[in-house]
Amino acid sequence: MLKFTANLSLLFTENMLVDRFKAAKQAGFDAVEIQFPYDLSATAIKDKLDAYDLKLVLFNVAAADLLQGGEGLACVPEKRDQFKEAVAQTVEYAELLKPEAINVLPGRCHDNSRLEFYLETFKKNLCYAAEAFSPLGIKTVFEAINTNDMPGFIIHSGTQMLSVLNQLNRPELFMQYDIYHMQMMSEKLEAFIAEYADKIGHIQFADCPGRGQPGSGQIDFDRMFSVIEKSGYSGWIGAEYRPAGTTAESLNWLKPKT
C-alpha cells in the first residue's frame, strides 16, 4: 500500500504552519513533510507531531536565497562555510525530529562559465551532508528541479541525478524524484521510476502543468500511483502541490476508490 505525506509548506496554508499538523491529521494523513521548518523551533514541531500522532518524514537543508531567485547554498563555491552552518542547524532539528530523509537542494548557477565548478562544489557539499546525517540513521536525498520554474538549476534531469549517484557511490545517498518537475522537463516518468526505484529515497508529486492537485493537469495519477506501487518503491510519497481552492477540496485523490 502506498504511503502519502502532506507537505505542510504547500498544503493547509489556510492555517498558520503551527496549525497545519492538526489539519493534516484530520484530513487523513499519518505523516507530514516541510520544506523549511526553521520558522518553528524543533521542540514546537515535536510537540505537534506527538499531539497528533504524526511522523515527520522529510525536510530540507536551508537554502538561503534560492526561492527568491538566488543561487542558494549547496553549489556556490563561496558559500561552503554557510552551507556547513546550515547542515549543523539541520542536524540539531534532525536529532529531535528523526526524519527518514533530508533533502539537499542543489541550487542554481547564474554564470554558465562556472557551472562545472558549481557542480563539483555541490558534490562535495552533498558528501559533507551525508556524513553528517548518516550517523543519525537518516538518508540524504537531492532533487532535480525544472529549469522553467527555476532557470539555472544545476540538476534538472533524472540522468544527472543518476550520474551524481554513480560518481559519489555512497549507500546512504538517494534521489528525491519529483513527478511535477520531471514532467515539466518531458522525462519518461513511469519508465524511470520502474527502473530506478531502488535508488529513489523519496517521491513528491503535483499535477502538470500548474502544479495543482491530481486531476488539475495532464498526468494520469491512477496509473502513476500504480506504477510506483508495482516498482517496489516502499518509501513515502509527498503531496507537494498548490491546491485550487481549499486543501480539503483538493483531496479526492486521497480518498479510497469505491
- Residue 71 designated active-site: no
pLDDT for the residue 255: 80
pLDDT for the residue 258: 42
The domain defined by 59-234 carries CATH number 3.20.20.150: yes
**Of 131, 143, 195, 229, which is the active-site residue?**
143
pLDDT single digits (tens) 47-91: 999 999 999 999 999 999 999 999 999 999 999 999 999 999 999
- Cα–Cα distance for residue pair 44/121, rounded to 1 Å: 34
DSSP per-residue string spanning 74-102: TT-GGGHHHHHHHHHHHHHHHHHH--SEE
pLDDT for the residue 257: 55
Which residues 6+ apart lie within 8 Å of 95 measured at CB? 136
H-helix or E-strand spanning residue 3: strand 3-7
Beta-carbon count within 10 A of 145 CB: 23
Q: Which residues of the chain have pLDDT under 70?
A: 256-258
Tell me the H-state helices in the chain.
Answer: 17-27, 42-51, 80-97, 115-133, 158-168, 179-184, 189-196, 221-231
pLDDT single digits (tens) 184-195: 999 999 999 999
- Residue 143 designated active-site: yes
AA identity, residue 207: D
CA angle 253, 188, 166 (to 5 degrees): 110
